[in-house]
A = this chain, B = another copy of it.
Amino acid sequence: MNEVDFFQLKSWVEVPAHSDFPIQNLPYGIFSTDGTTARPGIAIGEHILDLQAVAKLGYFDELAIDIHVFDQEVLNPLIALGKPVWQALRKKLIELLSEGNPSLASKADQVLYKQAEATMHLPVQIGDYTDFYSSEEHASNVGVMFRGKDNALMPNWKHLPVAYHGRSSSIVVSGTDIHRPKGQVLPPGEEKPVFRSSKRMDFELEMAFITGSNTALGQSISTAEAEEHIFGMVVFNDWSARDIQRWEYVPLGPFLGKNFGSSISPWIVTLAALEPFRVKGPEQNPEVLPYLQYDGNKSFDIQLEVALQPQGAEETVICQSNFKYLYWNMAQQLAHHTVNGCNIRVGDMMASGTISGKQPDSFGSMLELSWGGKNTIHLQGGETRTFLEDYDTVIMRAHSSKFGLRIGFGEVKSQLLPAIKE
């Protein structure tokens, strides 16, 4: 099928205009409905296709895969089958869902659920979580505020995709509310820290990729091979308590300012679905070392937005950014991560770092949008913010579009609750 025909393909499942989930997308998630256990599904329009049910009806028999992978409460066993199976499954699902194919359509009532009536769960058991720091604009903005203009971008930043390890236990799915964390803070001008709840609560607009293979300790992945090891992507809100972070982060990096919670969108959009949206990345100067060099387009044009919704009010979009702004691409990130022999496992999550653009309305955190609390962020209805208030809801969305085709990620939406009382 050529690209024009593929873009125009329709499903027998109704897909509203501007839906994130046309037949060309088919993102994977873990869902449950009343009284049933969580299981793999794919999003199509406003519905979920129950992969366990489809498998039990025998539709995947010819793929010669162990259908018990569809009985699991996480996607790891399915993902572990590897890229040839991802491709075969995508092809089969497109065939089964295509308009005019009566085979599965005649059994729709056995395999389709409304998304509005389902609960979404964390889609993978996350092994390790790594957070990169790959936006030049974000790193520069934060650097100026934390260390001054002269030390904003560290000498290593343009030579390697800086990253640090984060906490996987506290990564939760969209809809899970987060409590404002407590911790040590050094009040301005004082010499002794105090213990209190954070007063500078922030989000970070990020995306994360999920690895799709297990490698051996000692093995490295080249930039050319990297995408074979990436299953798909989600939107990632890296909640941050700036006052806690600022006091603790020297010399070993962020810790309690971050690990109280991170939120992801529930649907994993595959690299296959994003294929039409490849673009050239930013020029890298100085030239990077050979193991970080790459061929072809490894960046993706994915439009991003963050909306803030005070309790009982309308939402206001306060940031519009794009994944393509990142200086370092995913292939470079994975090549760097493994160049020392560090092994990866199916289900590892690697986040991009905050994705900021050059314009002030594209900054991906309130730290940057309010420039350290100095500027006011205006919301619909007259409310203002510098950092998050209790009961604020943060909504992040992502989608790519081209020639009428829209491939979306849905959203990650979570409310900030007050600190827990003793």
A182 touches B342 (CB 8 A): no
A39-47, A76-84, A249-257 - the one binding chain B: A249-257
Residues of B within 8 A of A282 (CB): none
B259 touches A170 (CB 8 A): no
A172 touches B253 (CB 8 A): no
What 1/0 mask marks residues of chain A from 133 to 144 whose CB sits below 8 Å from any chain B CB? 100000000010
B162 touches A165 (CB 8 A): no
A260 touches B195 (CB 8 A): no
Residues of B within 8 A of A254 (CB): 252-253
**Cα distance A154–B170 in the bound complex, in angstroms:** 28
What 1/0 mask marks residues of chain A from 154 to 191 whose CB sits below 8 Å from any chain B CB? 11100110111111111010001011011110100001
Residues of B within 8 A of A290 (CB): 195
The verdict on A4 contacting chain B, using a C-beta distance below 8 Å, is no
Copies in the complex: 2
Residues of B within 8 A of A127 (CB): 168-169
**Contacts A156-B193, A193-B156, A290-B195: A339 and B182 contacting too (C-beta < 8 A)?**
yes
**Contacts A260-B341, A340-B182: A252 and B164 contacting too (C-beta < 8 A)?**
yes
The verdict on A244 contacting chain B, using a C-beta distance below 8 Å, is yes
The verdict on A406 contacting chain B, using a C-beta distance below 8 Å, is no
Q: Give the residues from 230 to 263 in chain A that come closer than 8 angstroms, CB to CB, to chain B.
A: 241, 244, 247-256, 259-261
Chain B: CB-nearest residue to A261: B217
The verdict on A385 contacting chain B, using a C-beta distance below 8 Å, is no
B342 touches A154 (CB 8 A): no
**Contacts A217-B170, A260-B340, A342-B167: A247 and B128 contacting too (C-beta < 8 A)?**
no
**Contacts A169-B342, A341-B181: A159 and B193 contacting too (C-beta < 8 A)?**
yes
Q: Give the residues from 178 to 211 in chain A that come closer than 8 angstroms, CB to CB, to chain B.
A: 178-179, 181-184, 186, 191-195
Residues of B within 8 A of A166 (CB): 165
A252 touches B163 (CB 8 A): yes
**Contacts A193-B159, A340-B183: A255 and B169 contacting too (C-beta < 8 A)?**
no
The verdict on A50 contacting chain B, using a C-beta distance below 8 Å, is no
Chain B: CB-nearest residue to A154: B250
A341 touches B167 (CB 8 A): no
A241 touches B172 (CB 8 A): no
Count chain B CB atoms within 10 A of each CB in A163, A184, A186, A254 and give the residue with the most.
A184
**Cα distance A342–B259 in the bound complex, in angstroms:** 6
The verdict on A420 contacting chain B, using a C-beta distance below 8 Å, is yes
Residues of B within 8 A of A343 (CB): 169-170
Question: How many Å from the CB of A148 to the closest CB on chain B?
Answer: 13
Question: How many Å from the CB of A344 to the closest CB on chain B?
Answer: 7
**Cα distance A173–B343 in the bound complex, in angstroms:** 15
The verdict on A291 contacting chain B, using a C-beta distance below 8 Å, is yes
B160 touches A184 (CB 8 A): yes
The verdict on A336 contacting chain B, using a C-beta distance below 8 Å, is yes
Question: How many Å from the CB of A308 to the closest CB on chain B?
Answer: 22
**Cα distance A192–B218 in the bound complex, in angstroms:** 26
The verdict on A289 contacting chain B, using a C-beta distance below 8 Å, is yes
The verdict on A381 contacting chain B, using a C-beta distance below 8 Å, is no
B348 touches A169 (CB 8 A): yes
A256 touches B217 (CB 8 A): no
**Contacts A256-B336, A340-B256, A341-B420: A162 and B289 contacting too (C-beta < 8 A)?**
no
**Contacts A184-B289, A340-B244, A420-B341: A259 and B169 contacting too (C-beta < 8 A)?**
no
Residues of B within 8 A of A247 (CB): 156
B164 touches A255 (CB 8 A): yes
Q: Which of B155, B178, B341 contacts A179 (CB 8 A)?
A: B341
Residues of B within 8 A of A253 (CB): 164, 251-254
A and B contact pairs by CB, cutoff 8 A, 26 listed: A128-B168, A143-B251, A147-B251, A154-B251, A156-B248, A159-B184, A162-B255, A164-B252, A165-B167, A167-B342, A169-B342, A169-B345, A170-B217, A170-B343, A182-B340, A182-B341, A193-B289, A195-B290, A195-B291, A217-B260, A244-B340, A251-B253, A253-B253, A256-B336, A256-B337, A259-B340
